[in-house]
Amino acid sequence: MLTLVKKAFSWVDNYLCRSRFIQRVVLYQYRRAPLPLAVFDYLFRSALRRRLFNFYAFHIFHDSYTKRDGDQLGYWLSKESLYWHFWRQTDIDQTALDEVVSLAPVHQSLHNKELIAVEIGFGIGKGYASRLKDNTLKKYIAVEPNAYLCTHMQKKFKSEQNFEVVCATADEFIAQDRGGVDILLCANGVFMYMDPDSVDAFFQSLCAKGVQFILILNEGTPSADIHREDGTVMYNFKERLLASGYADKHFIEKRRPDGLYRYFLMY
């Protein structure tokens, strides 16, 4: 019975996402009287409401994203992108996150009071709010290039004593003279929007910055770099790290069914 209900629900959701009529209705409302971001945030904070109103956010995202004529970075730096972040805030690979946080090297690093961690492409902080907030680090730095997200995160996590938000891209942050960094974290597609030269330069600079621990979730490939039709790239992280002074490190690589990394760990 439950399986039938799920199938029926999936069919209805698929229909609503594909319907041109529903699309026109949603966009008519959105372009004339968009829901305030705070309301959108509340609406999609629940996994149940996320499923019920998935079609609504789907049409808003695809309209906002495609009208930029391939300017993906421009979209992700815009205020409009917060609608996407709020829409997808309950979408998290909790099993993978729980698994990787339970690994001894990860647990020990996150509870070392002498270490500084940096998460690049912090976004809305899904992984941080779910599991990574439970740390005893000296400092946890959230690096995010979207100024609107930075403002939101500063308010959301203002009670966290060791938490700091830095508005910068990954390569901008690594070029700053901010002292050492021990732990580098990244989740759900950050490097994929960077060009190969910037990615190479980023990884080549990590050793000098003092980075000794790296955890990347849901991005990257164990094979040769994959250049995709949408302009994004799945990079081989291990190859770059081995060439950048980390040949003596240990690596744990967990792959998804599509061959890409579910998580990539260097310690």
The per-residue pLDDT for 11 is 95
The per-residue pLDDT for 166 is 97
Angle between helices 54-66 and 2-18 (to 10 degrees): 30
Q: What is the mean pLDDT of residues 238-243?
A: 98
> Phi, psi at residue 262, to the nearest 5°?
-80, -45
Whether 214 shows a pLDDT value over 90: the answer reads yes
The per-residue pLDDT for 177 is 82
Q: What is the mean pLDDT of residues 143-171?
A: 96
Q: Fold for domain 94-266?
A: Rossmann fold (3.40.50)
- Token pair for residue 244? 């950048």
- Cβ within 8 Å of residue 200, ≥6 positions away: 240
Q: How confident is the model at residue 244 (pLDDT cuts 50, 70, 90)?
A: very high
The per-residue pLDDT of the chain, averaged, comes to 95
Q: Which residue has the tokens 């492409």?
A: 121
Q: Could you read off the pLDDT of 170-211 as tens digits, one per residue? A: 999 999 988 899 999 999 999 998 999 999 999 999 999 999
The answer to whether the Cα torsion of 201, 207, 211, 213 is positive or negative is: positive
Intervals of CATH 3.40.50.150 along the chain = 94-266
pTM given for the model: 0.90
The per-residue pLDDT for 250 is 98
- Cβ within 8 Å of residue 267, ≥6 positions away: 105, 106, 109, 212, 213, 214, 249, 250, 252
The per-residue pLDDT for 67 is 84
Q: Rounded to an integer, what distance in angstroms lies between the CA atom of residue 88 and that of residue 156?
A: 17
The per-residue pLDDT for 251 is 98
Q: Could you read off the pLDDT of 52-90 as tens digits, one per residue? A: 999 999 999 999 988 877 777 889 999 999 999 999 999
